[in-house]
Structure 1
Amino acid sequence: MISEEQRARMAENVAVIRERMAQAAREAGRDPAEILLCAACKTRTVEEVAASAALPIDLFGENHVQELVEKTDAGAYGGKPGHFIGHLQTNKVNKVVGRAALIESVDSERLLDKIENAAAHAGLVQEILIEINIGGEASKSGIDPQTLWTLLDAAAAHPHLRVRGLMAIPPADASPDETRRFFARMRELLTSAEDRHLTDSRLDILSMGMSGDYPDAIREGATIVRIGTAIYGARDYGNKV
């Protein structure tokens, strides 16, 4: 059960986040309506997510396939879109395609092929983002920026995929100035990718920024910010994986 205190705290948190998002957008000369708030709800219960769905949250992001399945089947998102934002194993693609409105973490041609096959079998077009390992970290998924063009070319050959943009997570130990430079580099990559994209669909989504740095991400062009702890509080991983 979700207590009234928890509901009130989440509502207050989202109100603060929304105001900070709007302020950052205005500082950058942008329309605040351009930026979507994604609630990153890894480890959060169906009840917590369902309660937050009544708040001015635009969409929900899941890192684990089993949580996406559980919360989607339970209707926890309240009719709002669910995105897959974690590392996607190829053997779990069939559970995500068609269930996630957007797969934000595509980082290989093999994964592209698996998504294409699953989407073709389901008779749909799956929207995706290409994940960039913008900090070159060995411990993180995502592609090197120089590999982006090869992956975009490969994606353009798949009729059941639609690339909508890019996603990234800067290094956690980067300074605020360094993080902002990573965000600026992502904006430049999106602009370059849009200029040379091979299909009719626009590349207009830039998913970056989390609880500790989302205002700077917005100032540098983010269209989706993925925020978890600033909405729900510290995670209790417990038995979650």
Structure 2
Amino acid sequence: MNGQEHHLEPSENRLAQLRERIRSTEARIAAACARAGRARNEIGVIAVTKYVSVETAALAVAEGLTHAGENRVQDALPKLQHIGDKAVWHFIGHLQSNKVKDVVGRFAYIHSLDRLSLAKEINRIALNRGLRVRCFLQVNVSGEETKHGLRPEQLIPFAAELANLPGIEPIGLMTMAPYEAEPEATRPVFRGLRELRDELNARAVLPDPVRELSMGMSNDFEIAIEEGATWIRLGSVLVGRE
């Protein structure tokens, strides 16, 4: 190298860091699965790309993180335009009714269905476009006032209303646990969501059972896996913040 020190280009350095995060996270997922007696293929990973550039998001998809999550339509559009159908897109943020038209058809999943007015708008636009939208029902298991979502006691009656909206396919439940310095403290929240799913299915208020649990983020995903998560939403721990 003619005595000159080799420096990685920014994109090469970013790729090296990304690969290390993927490797480390996969090891942690595998260990959590082993503790819980679960198979690795039971858990889907959503790379939350809201805090990273289009370049980093594209690198993540190229490295096999083909499920991507975004919170805001306007921030997602440049990534959607650049990456397109190389990724399966999940809308994971609070959804306003006036943004539904921009989400339906672009995002394969909506993780934040939490009120009837929103459900009716999703249903209306989905039917107009000949689509059926896979949705998670968001439940505020922890009861935090700062979080969106149904109260646990609202879940069964809300789900019963969805049975009359053919443009919506309810596939699971979603929750967000409080940020805890000790992740173990989140366990009751994740267990609570699993129990709500099981109760919902036992009551048979929907035509088909819901199987999915979208729960667990960078700080607490291992606990969520141990409690039955089928989708975990990972941002900083997996794709970083640039």
Q: Which amino acid aligns with 1:100?
A: F
C-alpha distance in 1 between matches for 2:66 and 2:184: 28
| 1:109-148 alignment runs, 5 A limit | 109-148=116-155
> Aligned partner of 1:99: which letter?
R
Aligned-pair CA distance for 1:229: 0.4
- 1:28 aligned residue (36, 51, 75): 36
Inter-partner Cα distance in structure 2 for 1:6 and 1:204: 36
Give how far 1:175 is off: 4.3
> Mind listing any 5+ residue stretches in structure 1 that lack a counterpart?
237-241
Which residue of structure 2 lines up, in the alignment, with residue 212 of structure 1?
A: 219
Instruction: For residues 36-94 of structure 1, give each alpha carbon's deviation from its aligned partner in whole angstroms, at most 9, with x where no partner exists.
Output: 11111113221110011122324111000112332222225x62211000000110000
TM-score normalized by the length of structure 2 = 0.91
- 5 Å-filtered alignment, 1:4-15, equals 4-15=12-23
Tell me the TM-score normalised to structure 1 length: 0.92
Asked if structure 1 preserves the Cα contact closer than 8 Å seen for 2:68 and 2:87, the reply is yes
Note closer, same or farther for the CA distance 1:141–1:23 as it changes in structure 2 (3 Å cut): same
Partner of 1:84: 91
* 1:85/1:159 CA distance change after superposition, 3 Å: same
Code of the aligned partner of 2:164: A
Partner of 2:6: none
2:61 corresponds to which residue? 53
Aligned to 1:73: 81
Q: What RMSD, in angstroms, separates the aligned Cα atoms of the two structures? A: 1.6
Task: Provide closer, same or farther for how the CA distance between residues 29 and 124 of structure 1 changes in structure 2, counting only shifts above 3 A.
Answer: same
1:176-187 map, 5 Å: 176-187=183-194
Q: Which amino acid aligns with 2:149?
A: G
Cα separation, 1, equivalents of 2:193 and 2:20: 31
Q: Which runs of 5+ in 2 are unaligned?
A: 1-8
Contact 1:2–1:48 (CA under 8 A) maintained in structure 2:
no
Contact conserved, 1:152 with 1:197, CA < 8 A, in 2? no
Aligned length: 234
Q: Deviations over 1:178-207 (max 9, x none)?
A: 301111111111111122233443311101
Letter of the 1:132 counterpart: V
